[in-house]
Structure 1
Amino acid sequence: MPKFLIQARYTPEGAKGVIGEGASGRRAAVEHVVAGLGGTVETMYFSFGEDDFVCILDFPDTVSMAAVSLRVKASGALHTRATPLLTLDEIDEAARREVAFRPPGA
């Protein structure tokens, strides 16, 4: 199952929602959305600094992750970045593949 690192920061309105329902309420909301598309929440942490929370999600396919991303961004309550995560075996496989690439000027 494709795995994604999510980094997010709340807008002022989104932060008010967290204050109102707490971190456990947001975790439950994330789990509900992810499970509804056949995925799982591997881990979720709240943080401070540039990001307000990070999580690792598993989805059955990239389209499911894109669907969540679109809905979350459209809400205006938070700004997110989704980074696909690859296993060591996947990178080893990628490194073995032949790629016909010519750098500029070569």
Structure 2
Amino acid sequence: MKKYIVMGNYTAKAFQGFMKDPKQDRSTAVKALTEAVGGKFESFYITRGPYDFVAVTSGDMPYENFAGIKLAVEASGTVENMVILEEMNMNKAAEIAAKAMAGYKPAG
């Protein structure tokens, strides 16, 4: 099962919503979105730094499922700069790179 790490920023519209209802739990919305596309919610954090939130999810599904969440959430006008990181197997990538280099001749 692959892990997906999702980061993003809230907009002024979202901050207005937080002030209107300061006790709301956004992790429930993240869980619902994740499960709607067949994923498993693992954790959600409000963060200090370049991103306002980070979510960790997992699932045996294509990247496009999470890209769909990005489209829907950013279209709502409450989230922007959403980044989706997909876990990968570095050893497998290195094996493929070694095979690719066997027949590759650099320019020059």
TM-score of the alignment, normalized to the shorter chain, above 0.5: yes
* TM-score of the superposed pair, with normalisation by structure 2: 0.79
Equivalent residue runs for 1:55-74 within 5 Å: 55-59=55-59, 60-74=61-75
**TM superposition shift of 1:20:** 3.5
Q: Give the distance between the partners of 1:77 and 1:13, measured in 2 at CA.
A: 6
Q: Is the radius of gyration larger for structure 1 or structure 2?
A: 2
Determine if contact 1:2/1:62 at 8 Å carries over to the other structure.
no
Q: Secondary structure at the match of 1:38?
A: coil
Name the residue aligned to 1:42: 42
- Distance in 1, Cα, partners of 2:62 & 2:21: 30
Question: What is the number of equivalent residue pairs in this alignment?
Answer: 102
Map of 2:91 onto structure 1: 92
Deviation at 1:49, TM superposition (A): 2.5
Q: Does the alignment pair 1:11 with 2:7?
A: no
1:82 maps to amino acid:
I
Deviation of residue 17 (structure 1)? Answer: 2.0
Unaligned runs of 5+ in 2: none
Whether contact under 8 Å (2:11, 2:78) holds in the other structure is: yes
Does the 8 Å CA contact 2:18/2:24 hold for their aligned counterparts?
Answer: no
Shift of 1:22: 4.4
Gaps of at least 5 residues in structure 1 are none
Q: Percent identity at matched positions?
A: 25
Distance 1:63 1:6 in 2: 13
